[in-house]
Amino acid sequence: MNNYYAILASLGAAVLLSPEITVLGLVAASDRRHPRTYAWAFGIGTIVGLAFALVIGFLLAQTHPSTPQDHQSTWVGFIVRTSIASALLVVGMYRLVNAIRNAPIEKTPEQEERSWTHRLGRWFKATFPAIAKRFDGSIEISTTEHAVRWALLGFACDGLHPKIFPIVTAAGHEALQVPESGERAIGIVMFAVIALIPGLIPAVVETVHPGVSARLKEAFESFMKRYGRLISAAFILAVAAFVGNNARNDMPGGESAEAPAVVAPTVGEKATVGTVKAPAAVSTPAR
């Protein structure tokens, strides 16, 4: 049971140390006109996105038995666990490499142009120009529409982001491996509380101390660039190893069949189950 709590806490810390979420939240909280509104809209969006990715993890866990007494090794369980472990390994290695290279958190213009999101954005602008104008700042939109945009961005960060989605999905999957419903609920709440800190802390800071978010952004980026990604990579790679080991145990035919032990009975005791009795010697009568 403690293993599952440790895994869920590690995955929550990996989301907590994801620089993209907090940086975007601080950008929302740094808006000149409605910083508090946009920061809370972003925070609420991260809550919905986290719930969405957790549900995906729950559904994946339903594809194979989750309690020890019901457990059977299946190819479905092996494939699900292997996929989750592989995704975590990719994300962990990506963060580790960026931490070692001391790469910037935000993409450079050259990197942005080569990214698939930029290509998708160009296609969207060419296909739906009227809708695109409402998102690129070409026309003035209302405060409500701005808030909705920040909420959608928060949802995408925790629910769709390729570097966050595998972590939250893995947490949902691992949470359903806990047999007791009460302990399972505690584990889910513990993960959610830790993972939602980066999405909600900018809104809380801006509510308590208005105007501080803009100054915090540079200091936070500097810290995360130096230490945050390295620590989160360590958490993610450790969980990937744990899930990968479980995948190996889930592989059908991977368990070695153990023969029942033969216990020799002591004097005055009856033979136990699994004891092989030697046939009694039969004496032939003398003729």
For the full predicted model, state whether its pTM sits above 0.85.
Answer: no
CA 140 distance to own-chain centroid? 37
Residue 279 within any structural domain of the chain: no
Q: In what helix (H) or strand (E) does residue 86 lie, and over which residues does it extend?
A: helix 75-101
User: What's the one-letter identity of residue 15?
Assistant: V
Residue 130 within any structural domain of the chain: no
Residue 287 within any structural domain of the chain: no
Residue 255 within any structural domain of the chain: no
Residue 259 within any structural domain of the chain: no
Residue 240 within any structural domain of the chain: yes
Range of 164's domain? 2-106+148-250
Q: One digit per residue, pLDDT tens: the chain, 287 residues? A: 567 888 899 899 989 988 888 888 888 888 888 889 999 999 999 999 999 999 999 998 887 654 444 445 677 777 888 888 899 999 999 888 888 887 776 665 565 666 656 666 676 677 767 666 665 555 667 888 889 989 999 999 999 888 899 999 999 988 888 888 888 999 999 999 999 999 999 999 888 888 787 778 778 877 777 788 888 888 889 888 888 887 787 677 655 433 344 444 445 444 444 444 444 544 445 44
**Residue written as token pair 């004097």:** 267
CA 254 distance to own-chain centroid? 27
Q: What is the number of structural domains in the chain?
A: 1
Residue 262 within any structural domain of the chain: no
| CA-angle at 25, arms to 21 and 28, nearest 5° | 145
Residue 101 within any structural domain of the chain: yes
| 208, 48 contact by CB (below 8 A) | no
